[in-house]
Structure 1
Amino acid sequence: MTKPATKPGNQAALATMYAGAGLTVIAALSPFIDQATTTVLADHVREGYPAYGAGEINAAVTAYTIILAVVGVLGLLGWLGTGWAVRAGKGWARLMATAMFAIGACVAIAAATTKDTSGDVGLAPLLGWLLVLPCLPGLAAVVLLWRRAA
């Protein structure tokens, strides 16, 4: 006998997870979009380090962009892996979702609030808050999964 692919009560959690994955992609792409358009990150670095030249600012922006892209890819892998576990009806899916939420929230809060040597937050606040945004559906998915278990 085969196991049902997804428990009926987990459909809402899965939909929430897909929304979170989408927001993670947006957050990961935002530094690239910013670099090509509004330059919020470059302006933030320039304000924090007025003595920096164009090369140093570009190097800082590139470093942040690469770091945020890696965090985004890891976050997306977390969403996809957790979604697979929920869809497959794995008993440990709730624990995995809770752990992924905790890790994601810690990374997002650290990125949004950590101060650099200038005394200001290192990451431009707009980009920092974009990292926090996927945590909201993460929390909702965790709540939905644990409610279904009760």
Structure 2
Amino acid sequence: MKPNERRAVAAMYVGLGLTLVAAAVPYTTQLLADHVRAGYPAYTQERIDAAVTTYLVLLSVVGALGVAAWLWTTWAVRTGRRWARPAVTVMSVLGVSVGLVGLLTRDTSGDTGLPPVLGWAGMAPWLAALLAVALLWRNPRPMSR
């Protein structure tokens, strides 16, 4: 592996870690419940709990897909796959798109569906993805396989 590829792999591992943190944060705080309660003050605790559970399932699936994408693309770069650079780029674009949806989508209350802190946490892995893409496309050369 060339130095830029090694640095890209390091950035990708950071992105993996940020994805794991972003997926865990909703489980460790009351941010979701507080956000739903503020947007829908007439909701009963049962409805708030149901909404939070739905969000947790959705965020867990997105987090698991993100982890899988990081592991797959990191493997591709480490093993010198010819298609690694385009794959990392495509996965990064998909990841930032999903992050922006989480950050910007408004629900029927008029507020964002996710609390802003969780939306921004979902965007954090994008910084590592941007660095990895930049490093991989810097002085590109065909990968060996």
Aligned: 1:43 with 2:50? no
Mapped partners of 2:133, 2:3: distance in 1: 16
1:41, CA displacement in angstroms? 1.1
Q: What pairs with 1:119-130 in structure 2 (closer than 5 Å)?
A: 119-130=110-121
The separation in 1 between residues aligned to 2:119 and 2:54, in whole angstroms, is 15
Cross-structure match for 2:135: 144
How do residues 18-57 of structure 1 correspond to structure 2 at under 5 angstroms? Answer: 18-34=13-29, 39-57=30-48
Aligned residues of 2:103 and 2:112 also touching (Cα < 8 A) = yes
Aligned-residue CA RMSD in angstroms?
0.9
2:11 to 12, 16, 20: 16
Percent of pairs with identical residues: 51
Provide the aligned length of Structure 1 versus Structure 2. Answer: 141
TM-score between both structures, scaled by the size of structure 1: 0.91
Q: Distance in 1 between matches of 2:107 and 2:4?
A: 44
Distance 1:101 1:48 in 2: 31
Whether the 8 Å CA contact 1:7–1:89 is kept in 2: the answer is no
Contact 2:96/2:123 (8 A) holds in 1: yes
Name stretches of at least 5 consecutive residues in structure 2 with no aligned partner: none
Of 61, 66, 80, the residue aligned with 2:57 is 66
Which of 62, 66, 80 is the equivalent residue of 2:71? 80
User: For residue 123 of structure 2, what is the aligned residue in structure 1?
Assistant: 132
Q: Where does residue 107 of structure 1 map in the other structure?
A: 98
SS at match of 1:132: helix
Compute the TM-score of the two structures, normalised by the length of structure 2.
0.94
